Structure 1
Amino acid sequence: MLTGKKATATFTKIQSMIIRQILSFLSFLLLPFLSIANTITISTAASSGSGWSISGGVITATANVTINNGTINSYLVSGNLTITAGTNVMIQAGINSALGVGVTRNLVIRAGGNIVLEAGYTVSCSSGSLNLVLVSDADASNGGFIYARSGSVINSKGGHIWMGGGSGSTTWNGLTVGDGYATGSSTVVIPNTELQSGANSSGFRNGISFYNNTVQSEGGHISLKGRGAALSVSYGYMGLYMGYNATVSSGTGNISIDAQTSGASSTIAAGWFYGLLMIPTNNTNNGYGTTSIESTSGNITIEGSASHNQSVNHNAGVALFTQSATATARIKSISGNIDITGTTLNTANPSYGGIFITGTGNEQVISQTGDIMLRGNSSGSSYAGININSGSQIGYDGSNTYSGDITLIADQITLAAAVELRSTGNLQVYPTTTTRDINIAGTGGLSLPATFFTSNAIDGFNNIHIGSNTFTGNIQLAAITFRDNTTLESNGLITQTGAITASSAHLHLAGSSGSFALTNAGNQMLSLSAQAGSMHVVNSTSLDLGIINAAGGVQIETLAGDLTVTNNIHSDNTGAAAIRLYADANKMAGDATGGNIVIAGSPSVTTGLGGRASLFTGSSSGSTGLLALVGGSANMRVNVDAFTATFTPALGTGVYALYRQTSITLPVGFTRFTAACQAGGVQLSWATADEQNNYGFYPEKSNDGIAWQELGFVNGAGNSNQLKQYQFTDKTVSSGPVYYRLRQRDLDGRFTYSSVIVSSCRSSRQGLAAITIAPNPASGVTYLKLLPGNGTVVQYTLLSITGTALISGKWAGTEASLDLSAVAGGTYLLRLTTGQETRTIRMVKK
């Protein structure tokens, strides 16, 4: 705690700082109302003119004055400094204060007119960090630009840099800044002899101009807000003009650029009108350099717009323009994201595009790990939102591997054949208008020519994604080759007029409400997955299926070769055509040669309640894992094909393996499979009439008929044509219905399944002490058995899935028969009732 003189001194210093900050803020508010015209020149010459003063860290002037740069440096050492001028501020000497290690100061320069950093001078600090705020056109009258001339340097040494305009104020990164744009002057023109680009012989009325200079922050953030003037004279009007060897660099800081040209009189005959123009040209000595906007890890965000509306205008929101093979215009980050939005509102000549990249040199939007997004907007959907008509590089910088994602968003995209989009990440393309169609290798809508996939998108992307999750237009494909994994996403239609060749790439179809019909007989796809509304896909050769999830029907077929299921396939559809898979679809019943459905791993095939999945295949030996997937021979049919109309027995609900093979000899012929309640648990008993290469049996148990648990193993007889008896006891008794099945394994490792039986046992011997139902599934009569000697009277009712009673009766003995021959194939519920309890068991009619 401080007392006495030290406390008083500290309090006085705090008061001084508060007063200085208040006066600095008030200067932002009061300057637009000051009518005094003056220019402040910062020079190495001695301060002259009596019309300036400083109070509370704010310099004001009532006349044209010169202030020695040493005076500015001294004021900054002691505190923050604001310089205000009614007209212009001319910096004709270096500002380079020794602020001290770890010290940060704010330098704010506000001018009613222009702010000019003269050639060869530096605004920085030799130690510490400097937050720099430049506000031109602070009186919102006649414009006011910011111009850094050749050889000048701005370096904030870790501080922030803000350049713009406006008569009001706002807060940005803790600094009080302007609320508008630095604006091209209506009274002062920058001659073409200074900017040296040849862009316009009459000169320039840009908002912010950089030429052969550097603006860098070394980790601080940078914000540039510029607007070209709106006059009826043929000039160059750029929001931000970056000429020969101009560099904006932030290191780890972010860069934000908002550059625009406002509307102009219709009397302008010709001119250059860009929100942001990067043009590395020096016409004086025919020199061409490098113009760059760059960071290391900071994000770069650029919004450029142009609204001049003449047919002969150069007009784009954002433009990179090189005029020599030795020239480079680049926007670059190592790990930061780059987000560029360019808009042209010119309806008379929108052909340049919202983003326009052109020239004969090196035009680059590049990174190593950051994402790159280009959004291009044009006044007409038939004109390019993104127009790159030179050998430009997007993504890869030519030497360092690039792994970020590239996204292009525009209603129309024009790319020269030499344009390179390259990354090991993802490439996504979709239109600005969500209802606009996409045409691949054709015309109409957002047209992506075949060369986009074979020349522009350099082979090596992880995935090329066409469309988006909000896209509702249609995607149509003519003949096309996909070299990289490709996603087509639409909530509309995806159709084709020519064949897809993706023999070394994966195709994913996405769109939860989309309808996809890729049925060209020439399709050659390697693998397929989908998240769809409904889909029908035809492939000429073998096809691997990844995860398929659809709200509607799924139909996938090969015309030759296997259909390999490697992941889950599901349809919410509840109809008989919910899922249809065909291997060698045109093969006829009786011809088991050719393609098969092969199950790899442990996928599932499921439908909505009451739906059917029909899996058409060739031979049992070639259809590895298929019989196990459908649940055994009860769901198998033979000597059928894609054209079979009547199946015997009839198909019900569930998943079916449908073989072209004339007949199939199962490795084991079951004659009986029952479950009985015993004192020690549930005893499973089964018998076989013949066995071929039978390794043994794995009894399995389920509480819901879906998820199965292996209980143990019983050795088989190998090869036998005699009756064999087997038993296994499940020592864990459940109070509700329990499902049992046998998984039979061959000596070669293949599996088949028995039918499913249901048992209900309790530890108590009262009521429904034990019930077994066998067979289940059943094609005709099934039998219900009670524990011998129980004597319980049981009422039973067979119900449809919707609850309609179909068959009912009762029995009081130990066994009753239930004839299912009169009901259709499908899934039913059997309700069993005594006076004390009720049980409901699932039954399947084949």
Structure 2
Amino acid sequence: MKAIVGFVLMVVASYYAEAQEVSQNNYTGSWSSNGSWVDGSAPETANLPVVARNFQINGYISVGTAPAPAPGSVTALSFQSNRDAYDFTVSDTLVVYGDVVFTNKSMNLVIDPGAVMIILGNLTMANKIELASSGSLVVSGDFYKSGSSNQGDYTGTGNVYAGSYSGVAGDFVPDSSEKDVDNDLRNDFPDIYDFVQNNGSAPLPITLLSFNYELVDGNVNLIWATASEENNDYFTIQRSTDGKVFENIEQIAGRGTTSDEQRYSFLDRNPIYGTSYYRLLQTDYDGTEHNVAIKAVFNTSVKSFAIFPSPAAEGQDVKIYTGADNSEALNLEVYSGAGQLLYAQESHAEAGYTVISSGLRSGLYVIKLTTGSLTKTGKLIVE
């Protein structure tokens, strides 16, 4: 089976807001083709958005043609200033044959989980640029960021692979996300590396239709589908707490060689609470292994949030009922009524609750619980 980097994320009809340019789902085509777009009209590639709107890339869309020009010679995609109220979102695969330029306060670049944006050229970002990535951004040439590193934000758990970093790009991209093409991309996604090294002349193989998950009674159910398979012996499911060091947890038999759609699933009955990462590997009959996809999963055992007693007496222990498993670390913060943080603690629920024993004096307090992306708040009165 060929290595896989494309992803199709289901987009419900209600998502297609009027002020949005959307590419076709599960579709391979050129940006300049009218058939690539839901509204049947290909947008410009310069000074985006010409008409103020969001962009959503849902299929495999390419800008320009192979082979890619020398970095720095052709601007293939550019974004105009003062459009920071809008998002340019890649939910599947976008390949740009040439340079990409974001001017001051351009559109926000968003790369969804599992998605990939490949720039066969240089990437230039001016100041006050927002980049949110839970997927992969690959720049074959130089990634240049002007201004200062705090004029704009980088958020997410994705990775940036670049031939080089200049300006403040090295400070703008967190160390945990900053990687290079020659070593990291070669190791993480060898097929994308070969694609980049050949200036995009060889077709980028895309046979994975989807790789998603659902939470079922606290378990993580991984679901994936392929459009075709070639010499596919088996899949390996790996899991990680940091997205870097993975362990094998299951092996799933492949379907050999087929051009028909195939569906797979695996239920992890011993998931990691908080944020974890699942990696899908595929092995051919000859033993050749491919990195297929990575999915970030947030899972929590928190079932409720109740403070007892409230009102409480001065110095009395207070219990925070969450129903959480004692293996999940919960972060608790206590704020005064004026919003001042009084203290914080990390704890594990015992018998479904966590105890706060701080000797609080009479007054109004706010209790805040966080675990991963989940936040709960409640009021506590001490008499």
TM above 0.5: no
- For the aligned pair, the TM-score class normalised by the smaller chain equals 0.3 to 0.5
TM-score (norm 1): 0.19
Larger Rg over CA atoms: 1
Name which structure has the greater RCO, CA cutoff 8 Å, separation 6+: 2
TM-score (norm 2): 0.34
